Amino acid sequence: MVVSSADVVICGAGIAGLAAAAELARADIGKIVIVERGDPLALTSDKSTECYRNWWPGPDAAMVQLMNRSIDRLEQLDSANPGRIRLNRRGYLYASADQAQIPLLLESGRTATLQGAGPLRVHGDLAAATPAERAPTGSYRPAAAHNWRDQPAGADLIVDPALLREQFPFLNEQTVVALHARRCGWFSGQQFGMLLLEAARAAGAILLRGELTAIEQRGGKVSSVEVAGAEGSITIATPLLINAAGPLAGACAGLMGIELPLINELHLKAAIADPLMVVPREGPMLIWNDSITLDWDADERAALRDDPDLHWLAERMPAGAHCRPEGEGTSTQVLMLWDYHSEPAPLIIPPPLDDTFPEIVLRGMAHMLPGLRPYLERVPRAYLDGGYYTKTPENRPLIGPLPVEGAYIIGAFSGFGLMAAPAAAELLAAHILGRALPSYAAAFHPQRYADPAYAARIAAWGASGQL
């Protein structure tokens, strides 16, 4: 099919581009062309752990509000397409063996509550808890494995040792606290993406294979794009261009002379068989909240210490090793992640993988789940993949107009793109169509860095809570 004009061109068929296409198709915006240099969803979006959470205690309520809206929309999608995206609400369980984490988790729970994540319930004897926060004995509700309806929101902060052992017997026995954030879980990101693509196509959107190589402007406005495909280059006249290029968003903006404050970080994920079923098949996402030193025997530790490339493996490693069960029925797969190298990385496609990752992440997880230790004798077969977290300085997305008329962006989706996509696409459409903007729009506006006060404010913000 020869395409010479479009009402809107979307650069990228990852989750951001497909969500934008479905949203604009629903709004009857006209002819939509999605340009994709590879396969849809195949660069970053199919590498996701497919998890979601409204647990974003932070400097203001914007991320909680964005994610609450997204989760509302995911729930609507799940209801409208039973069995398709398999949305669950098992929660995220943050656990720690460090007493010092208790006041920190209490504080983050209070912040999240104030920001709209739901109420905090404290189980056990914690003097710092207010009477309203103290939950009656026996009131902790384990999560349902598959049903997100009628589940608690907010979080349960558990310091009662007996309750910890009863509910989570698989945790390191030194565990003193666990925070179970409840409006969290996972879903099929691939099916979610396909539903978006189907909706966009049903409304007439076209998926065009090729690389968007140039964006022309006339009178300071987007006027056309060049797409290099298997059969040569074509020009598509268009007044609207949406940059949904994922880790290539900076390059796409560069085609208009726009510089974006983005970096890419490489994140890996290992799928490891767990035939001993150490990770509960119907359990929540499990996150170890403490920094750790990996267990090595004395010889291994000495050898690592002497190795200039590997000495870091014998040193203190960051908090945040996490895993969740994957698959239903007889599946024994567990997805394991640990962001122990979080510096900006050069963008290489396909992303380079590190064969040592499965063993390292397994060692990290064995700290939280000692039942995994037998696997360290002979690391089970692992499937390894990974992709880039594309991040702004304060780890918030870019959603809205760029400084060339007709150009927009939906991106910088970091480690939250699947969960953010439904609300992000709705917000993008509101910008494009001149609809009323939600309260969180300004927090994600691409032009926010132009305000020096904002730049100064974010410099003081702490950890992003990014997994």
Ligand X SMILES: Cc1cc2nc3c(=O)[nH]c(=O)nc-3n(C[C@H](O)[C@H](O)[C@H](O)COP(=O)(O)OP(=O)(O)OC[C@H]3O[C@@H](n4cnc5c(N)ncnc54)[C@H](O)[C@@H]3O)c2cc1C
Count Cβ neighbours within 10 Å for each residue of 139-162 and write b for 16 or more, e otherwise. Answer: ebeebebeebeebbbbbbbbbbee
Size of the site for ligand X (CB under 6 A): 39
- Here's the x/- map for ligand X, 273-302, by CB under 6 A: it reads as ------------------------------
Mask for 375-414, x = binds ligand X (CB under 6 A): -----------xx-----------------------x-xx
Q: Which is nearer to ligand X, 110 or 341 (CB)?
A: 341
Q: What does the alpha-carbon distance between residue 266 and residue 276 come to, in Å, rounded to a whole number?
A: 30
Question: Hey, how many other C-beta atoms are within 10 angstroms of the C-beta on 354?
Answer: 12
Identity of the residue, 163 or 206, whose beta carbon is nearer to ligand X in the bound complex: 206
For the bound state, the minimum distance from the C-beta of residue 9 to ligand X, rounded and expressed in Å, comes to 10
Residue 13 or 428 with smaller CB distance to ligand X: 13
Which of these ranges, 131-139, 194-202, 247-255, 311-319, lies near ligand X under the rule CB under 6 A?
A: 247-255
* 269 scored as a contact of ligand X (CB under 6 A): yes
Least Å distance, CB 411 to ligand X, is: 5
Q: Nearer Cβ to ligand X, position 56 or 140?
A: 56
Q: Is 184 in the site for ligand X (CB under 6 A)?
A: no
DSSP string covering 227-286:
EEETTEEEEEE-S-EEE--GGGHHHHHHTTT-----EEEEEEEEEEE-TT--S-TT--EE
Question: Within 30-69, which residues bind ligand X (CB under 6 A)?
Answer: 35-38, 43-45, 47-51
Out of 6, 8, 10, 15, the only residue in the binding site for ligand X (CB under 6 A) is: 15
Position 115 contacts ligand X (CB under 6 A): no
CB of 120 to ligand X, least distance (A): 24
- What whole-number distance in Å separates Cα of residue 237 and Cα of residue 140? 58
Strands 120-123 and 155-158: parallel
Contact 332, 273 (CB under 8 A): yes
Q: Which residue is nearest to ligand X (CB)?
A: 14
User: Which residue in 255, 246, 263 sits closest to 44, CA to CA?
Assistant: 246
Spatial separation of the C-alpha atoms in residues 436 and 407, rounded to whole Å: 19
Which residues lie across from 207 on neighbouring strands? 34
246 binds ligand X, rule: CB under 6 A: yes
Q: How far is the CB of 7 from ligand X (least distance, A)?
A: 18
Nearer to ligand X, 95 or 418 (CB): 418
Q: How far is the CB of 399 from ligand X (least distance, A)?
A: 11
Residues 212 and 225: beta-carbon distance below 8 Å = yes
Using CA atoms, how far apart are residues 378 and 209, in angstroms rounded to an integer?
Answer: 43
The distance between the two most distant Cα atoms of the chain, rounded to a whole number of Å, is 70
Binding of residue 193 to ligand X (CB under 6 A): no
- The single residue among 11, 21, 179, 195 that binds ligand X, judged by CB under 6 A, is 11
Torsion on CA atoms 205, 206, 210, 215, rounded to nearest 10: -50
Find where tokens 């359990």 sit: 283
Q: Which residues bind ligand X (CB under 6 A)?
A: 11-17, 35-38, 43-45, 47-51, 211-212, 244-248, 252, 267, 269, 386-387, 411, 413-419
